[in-house]
Structures are given as structure tokens and as C-alpha cells.
Chains A and B, each alone.
Chain A
Amino acid sequence: MPEFVNLTIALIVAAITYGTPFLFGTLGEILTEKSGNLNLGVEGIMFMGGAVGLGGVFYYEKLTGNANGIVAVIVGILCAFIAGCIASLIFSFITITLRANQNVTGLALSIFGTGVGQFIGEYMRVSEGGYIAISNSLKGFFQNSPFPAFLQEIPVVGPILFSSSVFFYMGVVLAIAMHLFLKRSRKGLYLRSVGESPATADAAGINVTRYRYLATVIGGGISAIGGMVYIMTIAGCVWNHEGLSGVGWLAVALVIFCLWRPLSSIWGSILFGALMILYLRLNIPFIPMQIYKILPYVVTVIVLIVSSMRNQKENQPPEGLGLNYFREER
């Protein structure tokens, strides 16, 4: 096989690996924003998810001694999810019930969440004597493909389709499920109406507060899984706040880039993942590697501008995005 093809395949596989945390972060934020809540705390949520997820798996292995890989993955997901739910519950309470400004509260959550993530990561490191190790066999469950070897060995198709970590496939399933939920189900329709026009939804007898709470809390939980995925796959099961920082903000950008569509977030996150690692794989002269890294943001800005210039109703943010709803203020 020509080297070019090999390179491309390697690039795609790596892009998927790097894109998977984005996929979760973005899907969670899409769900949140569809309800009309702009949660800028994704960065903090992913930090918390990463630290708590790692902690959960570590202590699970430490306490049981002989850990089961599948259970460990479930523990990791659950711990991260719950951490994300708690974080976004704080956000929901302050913005939905107490009606504080969403931007400011989201930023506060970012500060708080990165602090908590950092704190837990540090605290575990110190209290466990400087190093948190997860056994290699357990790591495999997080990092290796769930498919049998013969599938992965199919030329071209094998590595691209079957060699990624289990989380990527979960993310894809989640994206499809979320797409179906938003587009096909009654609850999804109601949720979108809450995000577009809470007054209309309220008049139609839909409980705006409940929908916003549920979407934001669950969305936060999903985003948090992305943080855990980053730590357990890319960072190699050790706490790495340097690497994780900025991932949450990119996930927020990706939501815009995908125009709030769960299905687009699959290829969108792979693309963002590719841009993150492109400089390692592919050197184009005249374009310095750091410039690659800002491409996702530049592209997002362009998407934002173009969609506002076109003013197509379909591609706009949910109309009620970022605005709190108070019935008597009509």
C-alpha cells in the first residue's frame, strides 16, 4: 500500500481518538442549548468529569484488587456523568430558578469546575503518594477497540471503522439517539420549543422549568463523560490538566460549528480532532503548526458569520438561547 494511504489512515484513526472527547462535550452542550440554556461552564464540567471519572476507576481498582474491565468502564462513565450532573445542577439552579445571567454563571462554573477537577487530581496524587496508576490490563479496556482482531485487520476499512476505543462507538450511538430524540420524539419536539420560544411552550402547557432543568443536567453529565474519555484515553489514565484545558471551550465552539445538529457533531468532532493533531502528522511548509491549532476557531467564526449573514432560520441558534424565562415578563 502506498505510504500516503497509510498516513491518511493513521491520521483518521488519530483524529477519531482526539475527536471523541469533543463528541461527548458537544453532544451534551447541544442538548443543553436546545433547551435555551447557554452553559459556558463546559470547560469546568469536563474537568470535573475527567478528575472524578479517573478517581472512580482508580479507587474501584484499588478497593476490589481484581477489577473487571467492563465494570471499570461503566464506573468511569457513571462517576463522570454524576459529576457533570452535579455541576450543571448548580448552573441550572442559579440560572433557571434564581434567574442569574447565564454567561456570568457559566463562567463562574468554569472557574469552579476547573478548580474542583484540578483539586481532586492533585489531592489524589498527593494522598496516593505521587502517582496514580491504573493497571495496564484495565487501561486496555478504555483504550483498545472492542472489536475482534480480524475485523480490525481488514485493510483500510478495518482500522478506520473498527479500531477506535469503545467510547467513540458509544458517542456515535448517542449522537444518533439524540438526533432521533430531538427530531422524532414528542419530548424532543417540546424541548426544542422550550429553547426556541419558552413563552409559546408555556402557553401550550409545557413545563419550561422542568425541561430546562432536565436537558441542562443531563447535557452536563454527557459533557463530563468527554472529560473522562480524554483522561482515560488520550492522557493515558493520568491526571493531565494541561492537556484537558481548552477542550471544553472547543466543544462549545463545535456546537456552533455543527449548527446544533447532533449528527453533524460526529464528523465535526473528528475534523476538530484532526486539526488538533494534524501538525504532528502532516507538515505543510509555510503554515506553522500552531496555526493549524487555531483553524477550528477560525472556521467556527466563519460559520457563525456566514450563518448570520444568510439569516437562514434553520441554521440559527435557538431563539431563546441565553435568555432566562419569567412568565410575568411577557
Chain B
Amino acid sequence: METVCAIELKNITKRFGSVVANDGINLSLNRGEILSLLGENGSGKTTLMNMLSGIYYPDEGEICVGGEKVTISSPKDAFRYGIGMIHQHYKLVDVFTAAENIVLGLDDEEKLDMNQTNAKVRAICEKYGFDIDPTKKIYDMSVSQKQTVEIIKVLYRGADILILDEPTAVLTPQETDKLFAVLRNMRADGKAIVIITHKLHEVMALSDKVAVLRKGKYIGTVNTAETNPQALTDMMVGHTVTLNIDRPTYEKPVPRLSLSGVSCFDAEGVKRLDDVSFTAMGGEILGIAGVAGSGQRELLECIAGLHPVSSGSIMYTPDEAAPSDLVGKSPMQIRKSGVAMAFVPEDRLGMGLVGSMGMTGNMMLRSWRKGKSIFVNRKDPNKLANQIWHDLEVVTPSTEFPVRRMSGGNVQKVLVGREIASAPSVLMTAYAVRGLDINTSYTIYNLLTEQKMQGVAVVYVGEDLDVLLELCDRILVLCGGKVSGIVDARTTTKEEVGLLMTRVGGKEAE
């Protein structure tokens, strides 16, 4: 097939305020090619692609489609140029059939003829090898079928440049294979495809070219045939950066939390944790590394009693007491026995904080049930709120100011501060420094280290490998719900962890 340029990005820069999300990025893609856009979380992949699909508008640089310079300022514009993006969160109407969803929003004046639409959808399915019944309702579909509907939706509108944002994150290996087969068919049909991913083996299996981003910067593009996972990892994680996080050693760590063979399923019946076993020690920080959605959230929720465990045991050994199994206990019992969790979700609120209340009200979330009185004790939470306000330098006009209106970093300080204040013997944090500036991040690192030195078992789920390497004592790597390795943070290298994250060279745990 002759090479026809499908898209070319020249020197694209996108800033959000002072943060440069994309910095002078160049990219080009021909028809009949699959390009992988590779990078860690927060490296700017999705931002870049959102500029192609009309959600953002670039500050600098130009976009060419089919060799001509174009301006894409809305999703409609993108469609006009034949660009279709499949986002991570599907937008489908549950009670509609696949075909009804597919024609939604098309502003044809012609009469709606579902038979004809169904036939057209079937034709697309046949052409590329999708397996979808256009008359099936969305609520009867599996996640992968829903994804298929989203893809067909884009094809139906005549897109010939497809962008898929982490399409395999929600798929089983079998479904992934199917998707790849379809994508290859589309490639053969002359479509240009970009897939955003951080899974190396998928990159190697599917794509023709790989473009790598790191922290918003364009690192380079290589032909898949001429590279290997090791080289790609190096490009993706870069060189180790020294952060100088203080890491004292605790004298005699004791086992606190022992998981053996823990598995769990999500609401859709997909296995989220698969036979996870490890021991968290009092007096150490255990880092949890892994690409997004590898089971970090489920792991923490299983321990905290918020997610049902399908098999395995979680033995918890408090000071001077016999070990007991946490599985089957209520979140309240678990919390009372000294296991604290500070999970910072993507939207920051929604789990663990009450947006409409002030700091005091949120401190009460921990203590509201204390005492026999029918009245809530506001005095102690208020004292605690003032203490955290002062100690962690939370920026807020008062302890009654709704946390929803605080800026992100301050919300996190409130959450993490409260969990630490409950003097737990196991402290779990996830994404505790998400979105924080450097100084605040260090405040949190110091707090965690302080806890460790008091003999608390700290579990730290993080995104930034550099931090994990310097903050933690040991690092557990999750990959697809499995433990792909536990390494000593003092001796390991970023490359080793990076490879474990993508399971290249992964070995069985312990």
C-alpha cells in the first residue's frame, strides 16, 4: 500500500495555566498504520489525543490531516476530518439497542429506518470482524461489547482515523486478542489507528510505530520492528531522578498484615485481584507500584472491608494480640482495630470526605459514633481540625469552610491528616500526593516516614516510580491483579520495576 499521510502533529504545545501538559510534540501517522502512544500516567497522552478529537485546542503548533493544515475546535470538526476517538468512559444509553446508540446525534434529515441502520451496522461488523448484534440492548452487553459499539459508532460516522484511549484496560486477554484482530483488519482497510497504552507487550504485538511521551515531553518515535521492550521501558521511565527523601531504617520490623491468596471480582464479574499474597511489616513503608487499574484500588478496599473478598485470608496482627482474619469483618470493625485507609480517588471527594462539610465535619466522619450520647462531639474533631489546619498548613478560611471548595492539595491534606491522626497500626494511602506541589508532597512523605518510625505498617500506593524508589523500604508490583514481584527499594532500579509493571520478565512473587 502506498503511504499516505493521515495525521501530522507539528510542535504541539498545550499548557494548563503554568503546567505544560504537552511540550512541542511531533507525531505523524500514515494510512494503514497503527501507532502506539506510550507513556506513564500523567505523561500527556490523553491530552494530546484530546486535541485531535476537538476537546482541547492547542496553544501552539499545527495539525495536518491528509497533508492539509486544519483547525479542530470541536468534536464535530474532528468528525468532519474523519477523526474518531473512543474514550475510556463509554457514553451509551443503557436501554437502547446497539444500533440506536450508533445513530444517536446524527443530524440526518432522512427518516429513521432501523432496519436499514441495522443492516448498515451488520455490514460494518462483517467487514472488520466485529461480533455484535445491532438489536441487542446495551445493558445486556459485556464491557468489551460496549467498547465495540463505541468503535462502530465512530466507523459508522465514516471516521478513518481512530484513536483508542487505553482500550484494553477493561478487557480480558481473549477479548484483547479479538480487539487486536479487528484493529488489524481496519489497518488492512487503510485506516490510521492510534492506541494509547502503557502495556509494552501490546505495543510489541500490535503496532507499527511507537511514539513515547514522558512528563509531557516528546521522547521519540521508533519502528516497532526495530526496538524491544527494554529499550521502550528506558524511553518511558527515563533516568532515575534523585529526590533526597529521608529514609531512616526502623530497628525491628514486625509482621502486621499478611495476605495469602486473596482474590476478588468486580460487579461485572471481572477478576480484579488474583491470588495476591504478601506481608506488610510494622515499621516499613511498602510501596505498591503498577499501571493504573492493576488492582490497587481493589487491594486496599479488600483490606479495609469495603470490597468483598472471594477467596484468601487477610491476617492482621495488632500489638500484643493474637492475629485475626479481617475477611468478613465490617469496615467499622476493621477501622476500630487500627487499620486506616486514605484513598484519594480521581475526583478526590466521593470517598472518605463529605464535600459540603468543613474540616470539622470531615474529622467527625471518623469519630461520630464515639460515646453513648445522642449528640455528636464537635469539640474534639474541631480541635483536631485546627491542629491539622495548623500543622499541615491547610489553606482554608476556616474549619467550617466546605472542603469541596478547597483546592485539591488541601483536600488531600485533610484526608491524609485525618487518617494519620487516628493513630492506626496499619496506614494505607493511595495517590496521596496526586496533584500536589513538591513542598506539600514532601510534607506528606515526612508524615508517612514519621508513622513508619513509630512502628506503623504503611502501605503506599503511588504513581511516580522515583518517589516509590526513595520513599519505600520494599516495593510490591501489581500487574493485572497479580503480584508480579516484590523488590527491595534500596537495591532495585527503576528499569526493574518498570519491567515488572508491564510483566516483561515478571517472576512469581516471593
B33 near A: Cβ within 8 Å? no
Q: Is A193 an interface residue, CB under 8 A from the partner?
A: yes
B112 touches A189 (CB 8 A): yes
The interface stretch among B95-103, B224-232, B247-255, B316-324 is B95-103
Contacts of A192 in B (CB 8 A): 93, 96
Whether B112 and A205, one on each chain, are in contact in the complex, defined by CB atoms closer than 8 angstroms, is no
The answer on a CB contact under 8 Å between A193 and B93 is yes
Q: B76 — which chain A residues lie within 8 A by C-beta?
A: 205
> Per-position contact with A for B132-152: 1 when CB-CB < 8 Å, else 0?
000001010000000000000
Q: Mark A313-326, 1 if CB is under 8 A from B, else 0.
A: 11010010000000
Across-interface contacts of A205 in B (CB, < 8 A): 75-76, 105, 107
**A89–B249 alpha-carbon span in the complex (Å):** 70
A189 to chain B, nearest CB (A): 6
The verdict on A6 contacting chain B, using a C-beta distance below 8 Å, is no
Q: Could you tell me if B94 and A199 are in contact, using CB atoms closer than 8 angstroms? A: no
Bitwise, A184-201 to B at CB < 8 A (1) or not (0) is: 111001101100110111
Measured in the bound complex, the distance between the Cα atoms of B113 and A185 in whole Å is: 8
The answer to whether B95 and A204 touch across the interface, beta carbons within 8 angstroms, is no
Q: Which of B58-78 contact A (CB under 8 A)?
A: 75-76
Instruction: Tell me whether B104 and A201 are in contact (CB under 8 A).
Output: yes
Interface contacts beyond A184-B112, A190-B105: sample of 14 additional A-B pairs, CB < 8 Å, sorted by A:
A184-B114, A186-B103, A189-B104, A193-B93, A196-B93, A196-B95, A197-B91, A197-B93, A197-B94, A200-B91, A200-B92, A205-B107, A316-B95, A319-B94
Interface secondary structure of A, over-half rule: helix
| B residues less than 8 Å from A193 (CB atoms) | 93, 96, 104
- A203 sits at the interface (CB 8 A): yes
Q: Is the CB of B95 within 8 A of A314?
A: yes
Pairwise interchain contact A196-B100, C-beta atoms closer than 8 A: no
- State whether the Cβ of B372 lies closer than 8 Å to any Cβ in chain A: no
In the complex, which of the residues B92, B93, B107, B139 has the most CB atoms of chain A within 10 Å of its own CB atom?
Answer: B93
Interfacial chain A residues near B114, Cβ < 8 Å: 184
A194 to chain B, nearest CB (A): 10
B268 within 8 A of A: no
Interface centre among A185, A196, A204, A205 (most CB of B within 10 A): A204
Chain B residues 115 to 139 lying within 8 A of chain A, measured CB to CB, are: 137, 139
Q: CA–CA, A206 to B75, complex, Å?
A: 13
B111 is an interface residue with CB less than 8 A from chain A: yes
Q: Is there an interface contact between B104 and A190, defined as CB atoms closer than 8 Å?
A: yes
Q: In angstroms, how far is the closest chain B Cβ from the Cβ of A147?
A: 33
Interface size class of B (residues with CB under 8 A): 10 to 19
The distance in angstroms between the C-alpha atoms of A104 and B107, with both chains bound, is 35
A197 to B139, CA, bound (A): 13
A-B contact pairs, 27 of them (CB 8 A): A184-B114, A185-B112, A186-B103, A186-B108, A186-B111, A186-B112, A189-B104, A190-B104, A190-B105, A196-B94, A196-B96, A197-B93, A200-B91, A200-B93, A200-B104, A201-B93, A201-B104, A203-B91, A203-B105, A204-B91, A205-B76, A205-B105, A205-B107, A206-B105, A313-B95, A314-B95, A319-B94
Q: Are B104 and A204 touching (Cβ within 8 A)?
A: yes
The answer to whether A189 and B94 touch across the interface, beta carbons within 8 angstroms, is: no
Q: A313–B91 contact, CB under 8 A?
A: no
CB neighbours of B137 from chain A (8 A): 313
Contact with B along A141-181 (1 / 0, CB 8 A): 00000000000000000000000000000000000000000
Q: How far is the CA of A190 from the CA of B112 in the complex (A)?
A: 11
Residues of B within 8 A of A189 (CB): 96, 100, 103-104, 112
Distance (whole angstroms) from the CB of B113 to the closest CB of chain A: 9
Q: Please name all residues of chain A whose beta carbon is closer than 8 Å to the beta carbon of B100 when the two chains form the complex.
A: 189
Asked whether, in the complex, the Cβ of B105 is within 8 Å of the Cβ of A204, the reply is: yes
A313 touches B112 (CB 8 A): no
Residues of A196-227 whose CB lies within 8 A of B: 196-197, 199-201, 203-206
Least Cβ–Cβ distance between A260 and chain B, in angstroms? 11
C-beta contact mask, B149-167 vs A, less than 8 Å → 1, else 0?
A: 0000000000000000000
Task: Return the 10 tightest CB-CB contacts between A and B, nearest first.
Answer: A204-B105, A186-B112, A205-B105, A200-B91, A204-B104, A203-B91, A313-B139, A196-B93, A193-B93, A197-B93
Contacts of A200 in B (CB 8 A): 91-93, 104
Q: Which A residues touch B93, using CB under 8 A?
A: 192-193, 196-197, 200-201
> How far is B115's CA from A24's CA once the two chains are assembled, in angstroms?
32
CB-CB nearest in chain A for B89: A330
**Which residues of chain A in 29-68 are interfacial with respect to chain B, using CB atoms and an 8 Å cutoff?**
none
**Which residues from B are CB-within-8-Å of A186?**
103, 108, 111-112
Contacts of B104 in A (CB 8 A): 189-190, 193, 200-201, 204, 206
In chain B between 208 and 244, which residues have their CB closer than 8 angstroms to a CB of chain A? none
User: A185 to nearest B CB, angstroms?
Assistant: 6
CA distance A189 to B75 in the complex (A): 21
List A contacts of B105 (CB < 8 A): 190, 201, 203-206
When chains A and B are docked, how far (Å) is the Cα of A251 from the Cα of B465? 62
Q: Which of B92, B95, B107, B112 neighbours the largest number of chain A CB atoms within 10 Å of its CB?
A: B95
Q: How far is the CA of A193 from the CA of B91 in the complex (A)?
A: 11
Closest to B108 in A: A186
Q: Is the CB of A199 within 8 A of B75?
A: no
